[in-house]
Chains A and B, each alone.
Chain A
């Protein structure tokens, strides 16, 4: 009994340590975002006075609000397209025999490890020539080229886990291939679809490299890139506190998403990892 209690304490202490390690920077950002004016130099962890000033600044600035709109819009569009295409592609890869199947999966994996910066510069030139520079589409396309292979990979692992018989039963019951897919396979792969969707959303939401390289104005610039263009209240003050406020604002949707889909993601990640 005694030994087990001390190991329990050890684990609890360890867990608290790790959680603190992960959360202190987050608290620091939150705390910064509530420090008004010169309060950021107060040499304390907490603000002297809690103030919404930075949030007001941030939302009053067109730079941020349009960027937020861009980010939300592009993330949702890219995620939706990516998940739909990846679901169909992964299904084909896991169910059909066709020449070059291994090649497709291999290339998909290779693309996900390709450094983003390596294609950003060529795209910059290409997009300027064909007029996609500084547009939503100009960003969504490269987002898809990165998120699709990853989603295909995650989802094909899921589809492989679904017994063939499920589909065959549906066919015998009178379903067309499409009905079997939609009524049986997709619902069963839902945790995988959620995982792929969330991974894609995070990747697009956090993108900085494409956002900064392929935009020049507020027309398409996403939040992470826009933060770099922030200015302080005066020319001479650093915009640290407003940036912190903006960072908190863009973190909130991510936190909400994770909390909302926590159980599905965990099921998804472990399923994919253990059985895939």
Chain B
């Protein structure tokens, strides 16, 4: 188990393409770090530089305090689970898991047997040890790949989208499995994914990458509540944050459907008449009729026509179309393209109580929790309303949790 530190890591491929740009990231001993971002943003490249399968163009990679830039993968003592598992098809499950041990000197056959069956037991693979990978199901193969990773004592585990080839149900199961395993072993873990749920549920902290640049590294909660920019805000959360044009008029802010007071945090940074982009999450809205009266105090009420509703049993979404400003519309279309989502129509997607009986194509009355709204600069995408104090609180909470867990393990 070791900490991993990256200092100004750059990766330039042979064709001159810079896949990773000046990334500095500290991963604490025992921490579960998620690397997330749209496809092609350099997540795998970064992971492969940690493990040593890709040369580092410039910058320093430190594992457990030692610079490993020039070390071969086998000298870094890491283990990796590949996206398509990369199991050895000619070996049985037992031999696949035992493979790393067989390469180590001075391990007795008994010791190998013991360690393999321990790993296999943890992953419930014991009755499949004599089978070949080709005869296993996707989930079983995935577990064999994990078995191979955990069978020896390593500095860190690296995962490259390990669950992306599984169906939704199995993915959920394996997700909890991975989480449980990491908590139990307490091994530093770097986990690449582009899946929202995995990013939010698995990690202690999440590093968001965009075109090779690190955007924000924070706990899932901080990313969700205090994103540094529009990219992070739009990437984290599903359904995604709603973005609307907002025009500053004096000390007021004009949005589609409603008008609110200009948040004090943004006040100094904007000028009268300036166009901003307001971001509000679907769950910051509610059907006004089903609203808790306590909440009514702090938000704003507005009327809007409902285009479509989606009732999912435990939750419900309503789609409220609005007229957008062409400049903002273009900005949002660019962002949507970058986030791999369909070009968004200019509409609010809001999450309302499943009890609500709103009817499609009728007007309804809604409540918006405008205190939690974020304002972004449309040119730079910077979040003008990020609450640094709240963010610091969340960060220290996360630190405490990690320290707690380490304490538990030490016992």
Chain A positions within 8 Å of B, measured between CB atoms, are 163, 165-166, 168-176, 179, 183-184, 187-188, 190
Chain B, Cβ-Cβ closest to A175 = B103
B90 within 8 A of A: yes
Cβ of A187: which chain B residues have Cβ within 8 Å of it? 90
A163-B86, A171-B74 are known contacts; what are 17 more A-B pairs with Cβ within 8 Å? A163-B84, A166-B86, A166-B88, A168-B53, A168-B82, A169-B80, A169-B86, A171-B73, A172-B74, A173-B79, A173-B100, A173-B103, A174-B77, A175-B74, A175-B103, A176-B74, A188-B89
> Which residues of chain B (85-103) have a CB below 8 Å from chain A?
86, 88-90, 99-100, 103
11 residue pairs of the A-B complex, CB under 8 angstroms, read A163-B84, A163-B86, A168-B82, A171-B52, A171-B73, A173-B100, A174-B74, A174-B104, A175-B74, A183-B99, A184-B88
Indicate whether B20 reaches chain A with its CB closer than 8 angstroms.
Answer: no
Return the contact of B100 from the options A168, A174, A176, A188 (Cβ within 8 A). A174
Please give me the residue from chain A that is nearest to B51 by CB atom.
A172
Known: A163-B86, A165-B86, A172-B78. A179 touches B103 (CB 8 A): yes
Measured CB to CB, the closest approach of chain A to B171, in angstroms, equals: 21
**Least CB distance, B318 to chain A, in whole angstroms:** 45
Asked whether A172 and B89 contact (CB < 8 A) given A165-B82, A165-B84, A179-B103, the answer is: no
Least Cβ distance of B96 to chain A in Å? 10
A174 near B88 with CB under 8 A, answer no
Residues of A within 8 A of B53 (CB): 168, 171-172
- From residue A266, how far is it (CB to closest CB) to chain B in Å? 18
State which of B72, B84, B88 has its C-beta within 8 Å of the C-beta of A171.
Answer: B72
Contacts of A171 in B (CB 8 A): 52-53, 72-74
Chain A residues with CB under 8 A of B78: 172
Number of A-B contacts (CB under 8 A): 53
Contact of A172 among B79, B84, B88 (CB under 8 A): B79
Find chain B residues with CB under 8 A from A163 CB.
Answer: 84, 86
Pick from A165, A168, A170: contact of B99, CB under 8 Å: A170
Considering the complex, which residues of chain B in the window 34-53 have a beta carbon less than 8 Å from any beta carbon of chain A? 51-53
Interface residues on B, range: 20 to 34
Query: In the docked arrangement, what's the CA distance between A50 and B99, Å?
Result: 59
Measured CB to CB, the closest approach of chain B to A36, in angstroms, equals 52
Q: How far is the CB of B47 from chain A (nearest CB, A)?
A: 11
Q: In the complex, A52→B79 CA distance in Å? A: 66
Central interface residue in A166, A172, A183, by most chain B CB within 10 Å? A172
A173-B90 contact, Cβ under 8 Å, with A165-B82, A168-B53: no
A-side interface mostly: helix
Q: How far is the CB of B81 from chain A (nearest CB, A)?
A: 9
Chain B residues contacting A190 (CB-CB under 8 Å) are: 90
Is B148's beta carbon under 8 Å from chain A?
A: yes
A184 vs B148: C-alpha distance in the bound complex, in angstroms? 15
Distance between Cα atoms of A176 and B72 in the complex (Å): 9
**Which chain B residue shows the least CB distance to A166?**
B86
- Report A-chain residues with C-beta under 8 Å of the C-beta of B84: 163, 165
CB-contact partner of B86 in A168, A175, A176, A183, under 8 A = A168
Q: How far is the CA of A38 from the CA of B191 in the complex (A)?
A: 83
Contacting residues, chain A, for B52 (C-beta < 8 A): 171-172
Provide the bound-state CA to CA distance between A176 and B80, in Å.
16
Complex Cα distance A50/B255, Å?
106
Q: Are A188 and B103 in contact (CB under 8 A)?
A: no
Which residues of the other chain, A, contact B72 by a CB distance below 8 angstroms?
171
Separation of A171 and B78 alpha carbons in the complex (Å) = 10
In the bound complex, how far is the Cα of B104 from the Cα of A171, in angstroms? Answer: 12
Taking CB atoms, residues of chain A closer than 8 Å to B100 are: 173-174
Residues of chain B contacted by A166 (CB below 8 angstroms): 86, 88
How far, in angstroms, from A163 to B89 measured CA to CA in the complex? 11
How distant is the Cα of A76 from the Cα of B266 in the complex, in angstroms?
83
Q: Which 5 residue pairs spanning A and B have beta carbons closest together? A: A169-B86, A173-B100, A165-B86, A174-B103, A187-B90
- Contact in complex: A173, B148 (CB < 8 Å): yes
Q: Which residue of A lies closest to B83 (CB)?
A: A165
* Complex Cα spacing A259 to B73, Å: 43
Are B90 and A188 in contact, with the CB atoms below 8 A? yes
CA separation between A171 and B82, bound complex, in Å?
13
A166 to B145 Cα, complex, angstroms: 12
Q: How far is the CB of A191 from chain B (nearest CB, A)?
A: 11
Q: Chain A residues near B88: list those with CB within 8 A.
A: 166, 169-170, 184, 188
B240 to chain A, nearest CB (A): 33
Query: Whole-angstrom distance between the alpha carbons of A174 and B89 in the complex?
Result: 18
- Inter-chain contacts of B89 with A (CB < 8 A): 188
